[in-house]
């Protein structure tokens, strides 16, 4: 049975990746022109995240094997992503997910702002937390196909080890973003190969 929010077409009415990035760009431009007047602890994160996302967009080409697998999906899918533009993991993963989705025109990627959709977010918690980005994929009847997020498992393991070692959030976030920069989307590609491989297996 499809969930209520799906029947209400809230994911369908979400932003495309292009709309999300346009809004993000407008926010960054507004921040730059009003730096002295805006008091928001997330400002620096937003500006860094925009640069990170742009850098990935310009340089990343989807692994050919993964793209060919995505093209074998033969029924329409809606990939709903819950996120916010201040989220560092989102900046480092969403551009990759968008390009993977674009391998097949019947995959529709839609983005919802987490804080405006907490009722949906609370259905997809990670260890009890509203961790983002969170990708939930559906067929067009509203059946859930898979979930992914908030980060690749290898990155999650890095965070766990850092916390166990007693490192501060500032320290482990620095390590995390260094990891993202060195990995260049390889971990995401491997995880999506496994996910899509399961979707296209003959029944």
Which of 200, 154, 144, 149 has its CA nearest to residue 175? 154
Nearest-angstrom CA–CA distance, 168 and 157: 16
> What global pTM score does this model have?
0.94
Per the domain annotation, does 180 fall within a domain? no
Q: Name the pairing type of β-strands 107-113 and 77-83.
A: parallel
**Phi and psi torsions of 58, nearest 5°:** -75, -30
According to the model, what pLDDT value does residue 1 have? 84
According to the model, what pLDDT value does residue 12 have? 98
Nearest-angstrom CA–CA distance, 58 and 12: 27
Contacts of 88 (CB under 8 A, 6+ apart): 45, 48, 49, 52, 173, 176, 177
52 close to 90: Cβ distance less than 8 angstroms: no
Per the domain annotation, does 77 fall within a domain? yes
Per the domain annotation, does 179 fall within a domain? no
Per the domain annotation, does 64 fall within a domain? yes
According to the model, what pLDDT value does residue 44 have? 78
According to the model, what pLDDT value does residue 158 have? 96
Per the domain annotation, does 132 fall within a domain? yes
According to the model, what pLDDT value does residue 36 have? 64
According to the model, what pLDDT value does residue 33 have? 79
Per the domain annotation, does 155 fall within a domain? no
Per the domain annotation, does 187 fall within a domain? no
Structural domains counted in the chain = 1
53 close to 21: Cβ distance less than 8 angstroms: yes
Query: Domain span at residue 43?
Result: 4-150
Q: Rg (Cα) of the chain, in Å, rounded?
A: 17
Per the domain annotation, does 83 fall within a domain? yes
CATH number (domain holding residue 46)? 3.40.30.10
3 close to 123: Cβ distance less than 8 angstroms: yes
Residue segments in the chain with a per-residue pLDDT below the cut of 50 = none
């Amino acid at each position: 049975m499809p969930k209520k929010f799906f029947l209400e077409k809230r994911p369908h009415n979400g932003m495309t990746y292009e709309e999300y990035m346009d809004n993000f760009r407008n926010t960054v431009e507004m921040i730059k022109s009003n730096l002295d007047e805006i008091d928001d602890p997330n400002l620096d994160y937003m500006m860094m995240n925009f640069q990170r996302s742009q850098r990935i967009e310009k340089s990343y080409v989807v692994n050919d094997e993964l793209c060919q697998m995505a093209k074998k999906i033969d029924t329409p899918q809606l990939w709903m992503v819950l996120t916010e533009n201040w989220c560092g993991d989102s900046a480092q993963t969403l551009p990759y997910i968008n390009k993977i989705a674009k391998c097949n025109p019947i995959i529709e990627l839609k983005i919802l702002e987490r804080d405006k959709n907490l009722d949906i977010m609370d259905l997809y918690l990670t260890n009890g937390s509203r961790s983002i980005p969170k990708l939930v994929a559906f067929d067009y009847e509203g059946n859930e196909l898979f979930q992914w997020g908030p980060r690749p498992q290898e990155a999650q393991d890095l965070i766990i080890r850092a916390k166990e070692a007693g490192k501060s959030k500032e320290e482990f976030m620095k390590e995390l973003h260094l990891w993202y920069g060195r990995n260049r989307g390889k971990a995401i590609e491997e995880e999506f190969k496994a996910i899509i491989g399961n979707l296209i297996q003959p029944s």
